[in-house]
Structures are given as structure tokens and as C-alpha cells.
Chains A and B, each alone.
Chain A
Amino acid sequence: MTEACPDHEALSALADGVLLASAEEGVRTHVARCPACAARLVELQALSEALRGLPRESLGFDLGARIESRLPARAQPTPQRRWRLGWRSLVPLAGAAAALVLGLRLGVSLVSAGPVQTAVLPAVQAMSVFDAVPPGNLCPRPHACLLVSVSR
């Protein structure tokens, strides 16, 4: 044979009858002219036949009857139950939403209080003198030690 022999996968698929129609014709034509591939195909078909010829096994007793009394009861979720669960789950959700709205309102009112912010700022600057520079140390920045300008 001058043409390449089909691979084992193609012959296996041919034996199962699942090769694509476009490929099947070419493989069948090759197998008809190639004794080696014909022998491989026959061997695959014989193996398949031998496996299918194995005797069927039987459990030998009625497993259905034996197992029926041992089956645990199964909880069945119903659509109604799911609805009830859904309404119940809305209660904490509504509480969380209310808390969020209240928090936002409080936050907005604090931010919008401009005069409070300017009144607090000098005191914070004064405290920074003691926080940043321990007594006896040099000032890191000249304006940080000018309490007069801060208090003014």
C-alpha cells in the first residue's frame, strides 16, 4: 500500500459505526485494499462481539423489595414554603435598609455643618505641637511651635 493506513482510532470508530460519513468512505476504501488494516478491523469487530457475548449478570433477588423499607423519608420543598421563607427574609433586609438611610442622613448633616469644622481646626493644630515634638526638642517646622499665631 502506498497510501497511509488509517490510525487505530479511525478503525475503532469505524467498527462502532460512528465515523463521519466524509471520512468513512475513504477508510472503507483503504480497508478493502489493505489486508493489514482489514485484519485489524476484523480483530476489533471480533473483540466487540466477544464482549457483547459475555453472559449477563443477575443479582438474584428482588433488590426493590429489600430496599423499599430502608429508604429514608425525603423532605420536599414546596413553592408555598419558598414564598413564606422569602417574606420572612425581607424583614431583616428592611431593617438594614432603614439603618442605612438613617446613617446616611446623619453623615450628610455632619458634613454640611461648615462652622464646626473651622472651629475645631485651631485646637487640633495646637495639640499637634505636643504630639509631634516632646518638651525640650527642636521644632520640626517653625510654624508648628508658634502658639501665638495659632491662638490668634
Chain B
Amino acid sequence: MHDEDASQEAAEIARARAGDTGAFATLVRRYQDRVFGFVLRMTGAREEAMELTQDIFLKAWTALPDWRPDARLSTWLLQIARNATLDVLRRRERVGFSALDALPDVADPAPGPDAHYAGRQRQALLLEALGQIAPAHREILLLREIEDLSYADIGTALGLTEGTVKSRLARARLALLARYRPLAGGVDD
């Protein structure tokens, strides 16, 4: 985020903390897709992810006075999203899920129809493998690879030290590869 954008966002946060619902709505618009994407990948259910995203922002509104500038707003929101998602997963008592119903319209990665199909299939298999690994591995991979968070920010979001982030991320990659390799073995380019 550029300095100008950061200062604009800081002003919006200050207004939202003072009770300005319009300023908070602006923040919601900025982060709604990131939060929704994370929740969707974690739960694998689109309708549920949409409802949960609304709940997460309502929680964020209530908790906003407690937010401190030492954590980025995006990291803080993802932390709330992560906790809310884990609550849902615990209620479901379901570790794995089929991510296939979450497969969105895929951007064309290659010019030809065969390549398009293969790319789409690989993404579907990757999402399926992602849905099969433990939530603790899934969340850390999403925060690193999709949300592009630093190790320090991941540590803040998950309540871990940077050393633990490093080791858990390595184990999560191994777990995902172990699931993905057999699935992707038969996909041709």
C-alpha cells in the first residue's frame, strides 16, 4: 500500500472507530473479497462463506475500538476471519471438505481449449487437495500464498512465533504435495 493510500485508510479507520458507519462501509468494500476468498477456501461452501463474511465484518465493527495500529487492518480482519471460520469448522466437526463446489470461473491460462481445460482441471485438483489437508495447514498456506502475508504477519494472525510459522509452512507444503501429486499425476498439459 502506498503512503497516500495508507494515510487515507488510517483516516477512514479513525472515523470508523469514532462511529462513522460510512467510513466503515468503505473499509468493508476494500477488504470484502479478500476475506470472502479466504473463508471460501477454508470452508469450501460458497453460501456459508457469504454469510460468514458478513458476520466477520459485523464482528470487526464491534471490535474496531480494540484495534491497534501495530497490526495491519487486513491482517487483523484475516485474524477475525480465521477464528470465525475455525468455529464453523469445529461446529461442523468436519476436517475435510470437497472444494469442487467452490471452483469459480477460471481465468484462461493458455490460448488453446485443451490447455484451458488442463489448467482448469489442475486448479480444481489443487483446490481438492487443499480441502483435504488439515485446517491448520490450509490456513497458513492461504495466508502465505494467496494473501501474500509476511511470516511476521502470519504469526500475528495465527498467534505463532516466526519460527513456528516457518516450520508449519514447510509441513503444510509437504502435506499439500502429498495430496496433490497423486491427483495431478494424470493431468496432461
A→B interface (CB under 8 Å): 8-9, 11-13, 16, 18, 43-44, 47-48, 50-59, 62-68, 70-74, 76
Contact = CB atoms under 8 A, between A and B. Distances in A.
Contact of A64 (B25, B144, B167, B170): B25
Interface residues of B, number: 49
Nearest to B151: A18
A47 B24 contact: no
Interface string B156-184: 00000000001101100110110010000
B126 A43 contact: no
Interface of B: 18-19, 21-22, 24-29, 32-33, 36-37, 40-41, 50, 53-54, 57-58, 61-62, 65, 104-107, 109, 122-123, 126-127, 130, 141, 144-146, 148, 151, 166-167, 169-170, 173-174, 176-177, 180
A35 B73 CA distance: 43
Nearest to B25: A64
A73 B54 contact: no
A114 B134 CA distance: 79
A51 B29 contact: no
A5 to B, nearest CB: 14
B57 A63 contact: yes
Contacts of A58: 33, 36
